[in-house]
Structure 1
Amino acid sequence: MSKTALITGITGQDGYYLSRLLLKHGYRVVGLIPPQRQSNLAKLGDLAGQVEVYSVALTDSAALLEAVEQLRPDEIYNLAAPSFVPASWSDPLGTLDLVTGTATRLLSAVRQVGLATRFYQASSSEMFGQVDQSPQDENTPFRPMNPYAAAKVHAHWTMVHHRQRYGLFACSGILYNHESPLRPPNFVTRKVALAVASIKLGLSDRLEMGNLQAKRDWGYAGDHVEAMWRMLQAKTPEDYVIGTGQLHSVEQLAAAAFACVDLNWAEYVNVDPKLIRTDEHFHLVANPAKAKQNLNWQPQVSFEALIQEMVLKDLERLKSGAVTPAAP
């Protein structure tokens, strides 16, 4: 008999790659999607017809309890969160309710129904914030620097409390930046990939960037969702830092992307001080040793291969008219 997995945030990047992985493993995959977001199901593309949809407001405790009672999932993956971190400043309370509220309501529902459901909470390296040690591991203190990160910390500890007090099988994956061709253009990796493709095709002539020395631990979304799944297959519920363990600067990102189309990045990139973030992190890099040892997990896609996949996909999209050229 196949397992049933519920996913919040199923129409996001991670939702797509996680759904693809679970379907491959023979799961029944059900997306919990708010009524006003039903149209987003199209983002799942070829997977849209293979997953089920359960319409429910994630802010409605009674409705979520009913969903869990009806569907009786073997696993829940709570990925629901704002997709863009800086946007959390404009709606900190909404961010808190979506991130922490959804986690609390789902965990409470599992406990009330009395299921042995295994629960995954999507945490974030943003929770580490202003770090004084690099790389970071599962024992690094949290020092959140924005409302999104603060909400993620609250949700993380809510999950831990349910595990400790009620014995739920609940895990947190503290994921570092993970990218793919499905990233929206407001993320720097996709912004660069789309701009490079546009410049290569003669549709634009420059790329405006912020701090070129800002660094990130960038991995591939497909690799990171594999870690999520492995956490819920383990014998004991534990929390894991998931990342590549390698830092790359925005300058290296630009250089790698332009190299994919045989162009010199320095001829096309301009620095605009207005694009520099005041809460930029410089030393967020993972130590994924625990995941490697306990889950036998490690990244499979290199930074260069990831960027190449993103650039080539945007070249394909621009040629077919599926996306519009990047603005400068």
Structure 2
Amino acid sequence: MKRKSALICGVSGQDGAYLAQLLLTKGYEVWGTSRDAQGNSFSNLNFLGIKSEIQLVSMDVEDFRSVWVTIKKAMPDEIYFLSGQSSVGLSFEQPVETIQSFTIGVLNLLEAVKMMNYPVKVYHAGSSEAFGDTLGIPATESTPFQPRSPYALAKASATWLVNNYREAYQLFACTGILFNHESPLRPQRFVTQKIIQTSKRIAEGSSEKLILGRMDISRDWGWAPEYVEAMWLMLQQETPEDFLIATGQSFTLQDFVSTTFSKLGLDWKNHVEQSSELMRPTDLAISKANPEKASQRLAWKAKMNMEQVIEGMLNSSL
């Protein structure tokens, strides 16, 4: 019996690496793409000890021929689109690149799948940022998108593309609308990893200060290795549907900071400064979620809360 195969677009990122690890444990043949597979160090895959088990290929998501050739080569049962510029802050500096990386990439993928002569299931990584500011009301799958950043706009556009192709061509294509999810594999440019690493250095004797922007914003922080299981579960359903993935609990960034320093035996107020230079042109005050649909339909529920996420990141040897 043929092993199921999966193609992960963007396998070198946090979610791509954890998803590859999960699929390998389930017996999948895993293919992973990067813009330059030969030049990429795939440090996350090496950290997880799985690089040698994945068939790595170069693919440019913005080049249709590259996408088509890669899919024809891998002949996957499932495709997970996790590619694209993943930083909200950086999207204000690189709006064109951010929007193209998602919208053109997803469009090329959907067109290629539409042309395949066998059924392929497609997962697209959406984002809670697309909801914009819901004024503290927990978002659900039916909450309208009101994007407030180039990143959010790109994610919203890509989600609408997936919906359109699903309805127009009966593709098995769905979007996971993921709220913030962290892990030791988060890059340093993400505020959670910046907080974790800076606080650890301070605890070890560094005299530096942790410089942050707004600290009153609220976010729903989950554990990335749990969220990739939800991605997989979406493609195991009989019909394609979008699902919101979150813990259902929101905390302020100040909560995240104070909890982190407290676990290291420090008072955050002695080590943190705020800078107007780190304030974004627009930022969501409160990000809240109602993940009830995923709980009922996927039997998926987040196990780790914010405090446990912080512990997991602090205890990492990465």
Q: TM-score range by the shorter chain?
A: over 0.9
Distance 1:111 1:205 in 2: 53
Give 2:275's match in structure 1, choosing from 272, 275, 287.
272
1:96 Cα offset (Å)? 2.1
**In the alignment, which residue of structure 1 is the partner of 2:287?**
284
Deviations 1:198-229 (A, max 9, x none): 01110234322222211111111111111101
**Preserved contact between residue 215 and residue 248 of structure 1 (Cα < 8 Å):** yes
Segment of structure 1 superposing worse, 114-123 or 40-49? 40-49
Task: Write the letter of the residue equivalent to 1:142.
Answer: F
TM-score computed with the length of structure 2 as normaliser: 0.95
- In 2 relative to 1, CA 24–148 (structure 1 residues): closer, same or farther, beyond 3 Å? same
**In the alignment, which residue of structure 1 is the partner of 2:303?**
300
Task: Write the letter of the residue equivalent to 1:28.
Answer: E
**In the alignment, which residue of structure 2 is the partner of 1:26?**
27
**Secondary structure of the equivalent of 2:134?**
coil
1:35 Cα offset (Å)? 2.4
Which runs of 4 or more aligned residues in structure 1 lie more than 6 Å from their structure 2 counterparts after TM superposition?
A: none
**In the alignment, which residue of structure 1 is the partner of 2:17?**
16
Give 1:154's match in structure 2, choosing from 154, 157, 165.
157
Task: Write the letter of the residue equivalent to 2:15.
Answer: D
**In the alignment, which residue of structure 1 is the partner of 2:142?**
139
Task: Write the letter of the residue equivalent to 2:159.
Answer: H
Taking only the aligned residue pairs, the percentage that are identical comes to: 38
**Preserved contact between residue 7 and residue 78 of structure 1 (Cα < 8 Å):** yes
**Preserved contact between residue 100 and residue 151 of structure 1 (Cα < 8 Å):** yes
Q: Does 1:3 align with 2:4?
A: yes
**Secondary structure of the equivalent of 2:31?**
strand
1:154 Cα offset (Å)? 1.2
**Preserved contact between residue 34 and residue 40 of structure 2 (Cα < 8 Å):** no
Task: Write the letter of the residue equivalent to 1:256.
Answer: T
1:311 Cα offset (Å)? 1.7
Distance 2:92 2:265 in 1: 39
Unaligned runs of 5+ in 1: 318-328
**Preserved contact between residue 135 and residue 283 of structure 1 (Cα < 8 Å):** no
**Preserved contact between residue 72 and residue 115 of structure 1 (Cα < 8 Å):** no
**In the alignment, which residue of structure 1 is the partner of 2:113?**
110
**Secondary structure of the equivalent of 2:52?**
coil
Unaligned runs of 5+ in 2: none
Distance 1:204 1:26 in 2: 48
Output aligned runs, 1:53-68, within 5 Å: 53-68=56-71
**Secondary structure of the equivalent of 2:176?**
strand
**Preserved contact between residue 248 and residue 290 of structure 2 (Cα < 8 Å):** yes
Output aligned runs, 1:177-188, within 5 Å: 177-188=180-191
Task: Write the letter of the residue equivalent to 1:262.
Answer: G
Segment of structure 1 superposing worse, 33-42 or 135-144? 33-42
1:257 Cα offset (Å)? 0.6
**Secondary structure of the equivalent of 1:69?**
helix
1:70 Cα offset (Å)? 2.4
TM-score computed with the length of structure 1 as normaliser: 0.92
Task: Write the letter of the residue equivalent to 1:68.
Answer: I
Task: Write the letter of the residue equivalent to 1:253.
Answer: F
**Preserved contact between residue 221 and residue 305 of structure 2 (Cα < 8 Å):** no
Task: Write the letter of the residue equivalent to 1:35.
Answer: D
**In the alignment, which residue of structure 1 is the partner of 2:72?**
69
Distance 2:275 2:70 in 1: 48
**Secondary structure of the equivalent of 2:177?**
strand
**In the alignment, which residue of structure 1 is the partner of 2:127?**
124
Output aligned runs, 1:168-317, within 5 Å: 168-313=171-316, 316=317
Distance 1:96 1:209 in 2: 26
**Secondary structure of the equivalent of 1:233?**
coil
RMSD: 1.5
1:37 Cα offset (Å)? 7.0
Task: Write the letter of the residue equivalent to 1:57.
Answer: D
Segment of structure 1 superposing worse, 136-145 or 263-272? 263-272
Task: Write the letter of the residue equivalent to 1:282.
Answer: A
1:109 Cα offset (Å)? 0.8
**Preserved contact between residue 3 and residue 73 of structure 1 (Cα < 8 Å):** yes
Aligned length: 315
